[in-house]
Amino acid sequence: MNDASITKSASQATRLDAIGGRFDPWLLGIACTLASLGMVMVGSASIGIADNLEVGPFYFLTKHAVFLAGGVALAVWLMRTELKTIEQHSQWMLLACFVLLLLVFVPGIGKSVNGAKRWLNLGISSFQAVEAVKLIYIVWMASYLKRYSEEVTATWSAMLKPLGVAIALVALLLMQPDFGSSSLVLAITAGMLVLGGVNMPRMFGPVLVGLPVLAAIAIAEPYRMRRITSFTDPFKDPFGDGYQLANALMAIGRGEWTGVGLGASVQKLSYLPEAHTDFILAVIGEELGFIGICLVIALYAGLVGRALWLGLKCVEMRRHFAGYCAFGIALWIGMQSFVSIGVNLGLLPTKGLTLPLISSGGSSVMMTCAAVGLLLRVTYELDRAQRQVARLRGEAQQPSVGVPATTNPLPAAAVPAAARTSDAARGTSRLRQRIEPILGRTA
């Protein structure tokens, strides 16, 4: 390669590096809308609880705002971090998952609340380790699926390895105990394997074995069994096992179509437990009515659908790590919001999962914001890659300055068809070689 070619290639690379991307406005708008709605509803739902605890009417709202600000800071940091930098450290993230889940059992570091060892004592506040594990595990899974994409579709061992890792994480979660997060981790693993191209008949075996095991674990504890039976008829024991769901259904029924008005909920006044966390959708239903619940569902559907679409676009452009990260985050937010909404509406047994970006809960708010930040980084790099491809294609279609448009003096009709096909193939090959370094599997 002569000096002129080297100079031209360097200048072309410089021009491509100068091309920036754009964050997806739809994704950003939906996330901001959900977070804003969460601020309003946490403030409304927590006033009665804060008053009973004599900590000031805006105690929980202030706390929620502080954690939300911390989550926004994490999101901005991830939005400014190259995905290749995150991918370089992805193999250490699996170790981080196990370390975080083991720290909750260390005296002085782990903190027990209501008999559950799920929190880390950070001095000024507590942090629920599993919330960070969800995001870190998704990043590791995305890296694994990229590195072993062909093996996952062809061999048993490559498929069973992430399932084994998930089972090990679930074992630690069940020791806390946290059955809801355990089920979520297994569901995310299975979903990412399916979207990663795993052979579907091979998945049937682990699924057929895993579902009965999960059912046995669920009914092994008496309190879980009572939750399962009480949700079928919560009003059979409205002051016992069915108390939470009965009050949630009364709140939603009272809201009717348009709600009783913002701040006018009665159930949040110490009747409905966890009104600002697990059962915040019931307060939304009472104050904003059926329309408010439909708005929340539509926002989550838009967020998850957009994330899945972006993941598909990334995979089509061979940006597999970015695509699998988008798929994992979409599965996480989609399934967690589905379970939370189902619990509030009496469609699923009572389970303590927060409504992402809306419910009060510092750990959940911070890590969901971080996940959205990572998702926005995916959109930025996808848009940047699309612009770079458009630039390369535009340059490939334009003849160089001072060079004739064709070097063949014969008219097109006089050129044999085989020769024309060969020239087109060589041109396509040269264009692919120029695009591949940017959109290859190592990008």
Please give the pLDDT value at position 437: 35
For residues 65 and 74, give the distance between their C-alpha atoms in angstroms, rounded to a whole number: 14
Task: Read off the DSSP letter of residue 402.
Answer: T
Instruction: Name the helix (H) or strand (E) containing 127.
Output: strand 126-128
As beta bridge partners, residue 126 has 121
Query: What's the whole-model pTM score?
Result: 0.84
User: Could you tell me which residue, 157 or 295, shows the higher pLDDT?
Assistant: 295
Alpha helices in 54-178 (DSSP H): 59-79, 83-88, 90-103, 129-147, 149-154, 156-174
N- to C-terminal Cα separation, the chain: 25
Q: Would you say residue 338 lies in a domain?
A: yes
Q: Contact 197/153 with Cβ under 8 angstroms?
A: yes
Identity of the residue numbered 424: A
Identity of the residue numbered 192: M
Pair of tokens at residue 311? 């993941």
Q: Would you say residue 422 lies in a domain?
A: no
Q: Would you say residue 15 lies in a domain?
A: no
For residues 88 and 93, give the distance between their C-alpha atoms in angstroms, rounded to a whole number: 10
As beta bridge partners, residue 113 has 116
Lowest pLDDT segment from 12-16, 18-22, 172-176, 203-207: 12-16
34-60 average pLDDT score: 87
User: Pairing state of beta strands 126-128 and 110-113?
Assistant: unpaired
Number of residues written out for the chain? 443
Please give the pLDDT value at position 395: 67
Backbone φ and ψ for 312, nearest 5 degrees, come out as -65, -45
36-56 average pLDDT score: 87
Domain of residue 256: give its range. Answer: 21-388
- Asked whether the predicted pLDDT for residue 436 surpasses 90, the reply is no
Cα angle value 43/45/51 (rounded, 5°): 85
183-208 average pLDDT score: 87
Look at phi and psi of residue 5 and say left if phi exceeds 0, alpha if psi is from -120 to 50, else beta.
Answer: alpha
Angle between helix axes 129-147 and 179-195 (nearest 10 degrees) is 20
286-291 average pLDDT score: 93
Angle between helix axes 243-255 and 280-316 (nearest 10 degrees) is 90
Q: Contact 244/350 with Cβ under 8 angstroms?
A: yes
**pLDDT tens track for 403-428:** 344 444 444 444 444 444 444 444 44
Q: Contact 163/206 with Cβ under 8 angstroms?
A: yes
Q: Would you say residue 284 lies in a domain?
A: yes
**pLDDT tens track for 328-345:** 999 999 999 999 999 999
Q: Would you say residue 401 lies in a domain?
A: no
- What SS3 state is found at 118? strand
For residues 174 and 176, give the distance between their C-alpha atoms in angstroms, rounded to a whole number: 5
Backbone φ and ψ for 352, nearest 5 degrees, come out as -85, 75
- What SS3 state is found at 119? strand
For residues 362 and 70, give the distance between their C-alpha atoms in angstroms, rounded to a whole number: 9
Q: Would you say residue 114 lies in a domain?
A: yes
Q: Would you say residue 431 lies in a domain?
A: no
Across all residues in the chain, what is the average pLDDT? 82
For residues 310 and 43, give the distance between their C-alpha atoms in angstroms, rounded to a whole number: 33
Contacts of 209 (CB under 8 A, 6+ apart): none
- Asked whether the predicted pLDDT for residue 429 surpasses 60, the reply is no
Q: Contact 59/276 with Cβ under 8 angstroms?
A: no
- Asked whether the predicted pLDDT for residue 394 surpasses 90, the reply is no
**pLDDT tens track for 81-111:** 999 999 988 888 999 999 999 998 888 888 8
Contacts of 379 (CB under 8 A, 6+ apart): 21, 22, 23, 24, 27, 310
How far does Cα 151 stand from its chain's mean position? 25
Measured from the Cβ of residue 125, the count of other Cβ atoms closer than 10 Å reads 14
Contacts of 126 (CB under 8 A, 6+ apart): 111, 113, 119, 120, 362, 363
**Number of domains comprising the chain:** 1
Q: Would you say residue 130 lies in a domain?
A: yes
